[in-house]
Structure 1
Amino acid sequence: MAVRLHPHAAARAAERGATEAEVAATVETGETIPAKHGRTGFRRNFPGPWTWRARAFDTKQVLVYAVPEGDGWLVITVIVKFLGGRA
């Protein structure tokens, strides 16, 4: 399955701490979640440890919103949540 990132999605992924490989893995193997405006949402948790903005976290959750495109998906935007923060 082809996963293509819109330039906006690529910029947001980098800005928010997700790699293009993590975005593709989220679409390919993540959980499907409801989304608005004809889009499909995908969610996947990546176990850590992760460091983001000088804080340690146990899990990185990647949320991807995409639309079908040919035989694959066009990723519209990417949201990243870091969970299980430690001091």
Structure 2
Amino acid sequence: MSVRLHPHAQARLIERGATEAEVIATVESGTPFAAQFGRTGFRRNFSFNAEWRGTVYTMKKVEVIAVKENEDWLVITVIVKYF
């Protein structure tokens, strides 16, 4: 199984503060959930302990929305929540 990123997802990585490694780890070992339009979501928490846009957070949750293509996953978008 491989994980590929759609150009939209790649752009969201930068603006939302996730790394490609975090996205791949989320798909490979995160908690799956049903998403809209028959897609699959995955979520996983990561230790952060850093500043994001002027506020220090200890954790961040990466949520990935993906679609299965044969044996691979195509990541459509990435959502990051800091807490």
TM-score range, shorter chain: over 0.9
CA RMSD of aligned residues (A): 0.8
Which secondary structure state, in structure 2, belongs to the residue aligned with residue 18 of structure 1? coil
**What residue number does 1:5 align with?**
5
Q: Which runs of 5+ in 1 are unaligned?
A: none
Structure 1-normalised TM-score?
Answer: 0.91
- 1:33 Cα deviation after fit: 1.4
Whichever structure has more helix as a proportion of its residues is: 2
**What residue number does 1:17 align with?**
17
**What residue number does 1:67 align with?**
67
Moved over 3 A (4+): none
Are residue 39 (structure 1) and residue 74 (structure 2) matched?
no
The residue type paired with residue 56 of structure 1 is V
The residue type paired with residue 72 of structure 1 is D
The residue type paired with residue 59 of structure 2 is T
- 1:50 Cα deviation after fit: 2.5
Q: In the comparison of the two structures, how many residue pairs are matched?
A: 83
**What residue number does 2:58 align with?**
58
Taking every aligned residue pair, what percent have the same amino acid on both sides?
61
- 1:56 Cα deviation after fit: 0.4
Structure 2-normalised TM-score?
Answer: 0.95
Instruction: Determine the C-alpha separation between the residues in 2 that align with 1:51 and 1:26.
Output: 21
Q: Which runs of 5+ in 2 are unaligned?
A: none
